[in-house]
Amino acid sequence: MTTTLSIEDAERLVAEAFQRAETGPAQAASVARALVAAEAAGQGGHGLRRVPAYSAQAKAKKVDGHATPGLDRVKPGVLRVDAAEGFAYPAFDLAIEALKDIVAETGVAIGAVRNSHHAGVLGLTVERFAEAGLVAMMMANSPGAMAAWGGKRPLFGTNPIAFAAPLPDADPIVIDLSLSKVARGKVMAARQKGAAIPEGWALDKDGNPTTDANAAMEGTMVPMGDAKGAALAMMVEMLSAGLTGANYASEASSLFDDKGPPPRLGQFMLVIDPKAMGGPDALTRLGVLAQAIAEEPETRLPGARGRKLRQDAATRGLTIEDDVMAMIEGV
């Protein structure tokens, strides 16, 4: 069975749950917007199924639900963002507006976020820059989930990378990918449902392939592209944690329970004014490639599916499974 709510009602439901769980009204609203948008985009592993873990962490003070993020513009084009051991989304909201202003002046800017939490669907964050006419790339580390190629110790997170670019007279291109073959949130969702996972997603703690979601959560995820994916995950660790002053994946506590200290994760943002870099015809040039892809049979521009799902949810409402509703209402 399911329940259908408008986006506004779903956000209110989730925000009220977080306020019952030691989270301030503004912080709760920011987190609710992000989780509902992820759910509407078809990313359930980063959506409403996160509410129980997030709220338990807020009550246990593993994440500070009342934290106010801070900004420090240390160089003309470098913004340091301290999430203050709070949720990542209020820090992103603040950073996005500040980076837009900086890029209007400098043409390019970097945002370095530290002392942060789960970054969620990065595509939804970089899309906000593209909607303002900017090109953006973002990456984030997460608690240990992948081993260096050939190893067993989870030194890297699943470490997503996202990219967004505006197009002339069209929706932006949005690319969002996890460096594991699938996002770990999908394994978490399978564990909550008591379901098996497909072969090739994960390894158990001894490095053996597994279809058991519990064994997968105790083991490691398989990197996308094997050794190449593991190398990219190392790059993300260096940019989003090593340079920002955040915890590396192997130092961060789990995002799935309320045990341990704050995870203190990191995120890296690169924002570019396309006209400053490519001249007045920059968006037209981006549109040429996008159009060439769209004209190919059986192709789909990255980001189109998630945007269509969100548009449908905005029109028809968001369908929420009863077990998820019960978890939210039970907070």
Domain ranges across the chain: 2-180+223-278+304-329
- What pLDDT is recorded for position 192? 82
- What pLDDT is recorded for position 1? 85
81 and 113 Cβ atoms separated by less than 8 Å: yes
- What pLDDT is recorded for position 186? 83
- What pLDDT is recorded for position 193? 85
DSSP track, 207-276: S-EE--HHHHHHSEEPBTTTHHHHHHHHHHHIIIIITTTPPPGGGSPPSSSS-SS---EEEEEEEE-HHH
For the stretch 107-136, pLDDT in tens is 999 999 999 999 999 999 999 999 999 999
Assigned fold of 2-180+223-278+304-329:
Ribosomal Protein S8; Chain: A, domain 1 (3.30.1370)
For the stretch 236-278, pLDDT in tens is 999 999 999 999 999 999 999 999 999 999 999 999 999 999 9
272 and 111 Cβ atoms separated by less than 8 Å: no
Return the structure tokens found at 217.
């959560």
- What pLDDT is recorded for position 183? 78
In tens digits, the chain (331 residues) has pLDDT values of 899 999 999 999 999 999 999 999 999 999 999 999 999 999 988 999 999 999 999 999 999 999 999 999 999 999 999 999 999 999 999 999 999 999 999 999 999 999 999 999 999 999 999 999 999 999 999 999 999 998 889 999 999 999 999 999 999 999 999 999 887 878 888 988 899 999 999 999 988 999 999 999 889 999 999 999 999 999 999 999 999 999 999 999 999 999 999 999 999 999 999 999 999 999 999 999 999 999 999 999 999 999 999 999 999 999 999 999 999 999 9
Q: What are the start-end ranges of the H helices in the chain? A: 7-19, 25-40, 51-59, 88-106, 122-130, 184-193, 213-218, 227-237, 274-278, 282-294, 304-316, 322-329
- What pLDDT is recorded for position 65? 98
Q: Quote the distance between the C-alpha of residue 97 and its chain's center.
A: 18
CB atoms within 10 A of CB 76: 11
Handedness of CA 310, 314, 320, 326 (dihedral sign): positive
Q: Model-level pTM?
A: 0.93
| Separation CA 227–CA 272 (nearest Å) | 30
| Separation CA 142–CA 249 (nearest Å) | 6
69 and 91 Cβ atoms separated by less than 8 Å: yes
List C-alpha distances in Å: 9 to 32, 178, 189, 219, 323: 11, 30, 23, 38, 18
| Separation CA 248–CA 263 (nearest Å) | 9
